[in-house]
Structure 1
Amino acid sequence: MALSSIELLDDARRVDSFDCGKPALNAWLADFARRNQARGIIRVLVIHDEGTVVGYYGLAPDVIQPNSAPRAIRTGRPPDPIPCLLIGQLAVDHRYAGQGIGSGLVKDAQHRCVAGADIVGGRAVVVRAIDAEAERYLQSWGFIPARDNPAGLMRSIQDVSLWLADKGH
């Protein structure tokens, strides 16, 4: 097994055999990831094993309504809507589960979100959990549910930045 570093999805990467156990996430990678990236909608970052994608996530700009944001994100006078960065479609192939790939992807995504917010602004990192298992996983990373939708989780950019600095990541 020769896992790559995290890199942008390109045409050389094989996605057809990817299986995280969640058909919607498998289908998104196979059917929409490249097209959405080519259209400038999202950036898809992957880890591959000799060219076959074994983990991925997407990054995109996003906005949330102030009434859905927790207090830590609404503090002060945020704009309406509040600019954010979205971590989307995070998944790891079930054959590679338990090897730290998911953790590596989440850390990388948070680093990129902080760096992006430093360049263009952004008040929070937002994720949309596909199911209750994903909600629990994301909450273990410090994401808190939106006030109006528990599947929408968020964490302030300031909190992420402090966490990364404290952990030495």
Structure 2
Amino acid sequence: MALLLAPEHIGPLEKAHDRKSFDCGNEDLNRYLREQARQDAEKRVAAPFVLTQPGAPKVLGFYTLSSSIIPAGELPADLMKRLPRYGQLPVTLLGRLAVDRLARGQGVGEFLLVDAMRRSLEAAQQIAAMAVVVDAKDAQAESFYRHFDFQPFQQTPLRLFLPMSQIAGLFA
């Protein structure tokens, strides 16, 4: 199935979206989308965004964004030198990102990540965030994010970040 990848095909999760048939191969992520994502959106603890195709409610991929904070001491020393000396710093958390098996191999993961970074950058104009942070679930996910220049935290290697200044450069 050839997919149309356009920004207008990604939007907030709605009741009309078909979540039940989503299968990314990870039951925790499947269950989250089916059972928890709408509640998180309603309670404003995470903002789920989904990729669909025109006229079709099936979710082909999704990600979530939320505000978070990180201990400044976990950042690399060279980056800490350039930041204010606060104990904690604001970030945008890319909490989950998953692609349905039917959509794999078509650039959907990259497309969703770029959209998440764009939305994070736009939000950072209103509510400060110095980076986008992800918690990679395994080495394969870590490799995916590192391909896009995400850097590991000093003490938590599967937790990665990309400074907002680098993200801004991608969209300049």
TM-score normalized with structure 1 length: 0.92
Which residue of 107, 111, 127 maps to 2:134?
Answer: 127
Query: 2:111 and 2:101 mapped to 1: Cα distance?
Result: 15
TM-score normalized with structure 2 length: 0.90
Structure 1 segments unaligned to the other structure (5+ residues): none
Aligned residue runs from structure 1 range 10-89, under 5 A: 10-49=14-53, 50-71=56-77, 73-74=79-80, 75-89=82-96
**Partner SS for 2:125:** helix
Task: Letter of the 2:15 partner, please give it.
Answer: D
Pair 73,40 (structure 1): closer, same or farther in 2 beyond 3 Å: farther
**Partner SS for 1:120:** coil
Pair 72,29 (structure 1): closer, same or farther in 2 beyond 3 Å: farther
Pair 94,83 (structure 1): closer, same or farther in 2 beyond 3 Å: same
**Partner SS for 2:161:** strand
Residues 1:157 and 2:164 are matched in the alignment? yes
**Partner SS for 2:60:** strand
Task: Letter of the 1:63 partner, please give it.
Answer: I
Q: Is the 8 A contact 1:25 1:91 kept in 2?
A: yes
Note the alpha carbon deviations across 1:88-117, whole angstroms, 9 max, x for none: 210000111011211111111111111111
Q: Is the 8 A contact 2:66 2:94 kept in 1?
A: yes
Note the alpha carbon deviations across 1:121-141, whole angstroms, 9 max, x for none: 111110111111100000001
Deviation at 1:78, TM superposition (A): 4.3
**Partner SS for 2:126:** helix
Moved over 6 A (4+): none
Q: Is the 8 A contact 1:9 1:46 kept in 2?
A: yes
Structure 2 segments unaligned to the other structure (5+ residues): none
Task: Letter of the 2:66 partner, please give it.
Answer: A
Q: How many residues align?
A: 165
Query: 1:133 and 1:35 mapped to 2: Cα distance?
Result: 29
Note the alpha carbon deviations across 1:44-75, whole angstroms, 9 max, x for none: 10012410101000010011001112245422
Deviation at 1:80, TM superposition (A): 2.0
Deviation at 1:119, TM superposition (A): 1.0
Pair 91,64 (structure 1): closer, same or farther in 2 beyond 3 Å: same
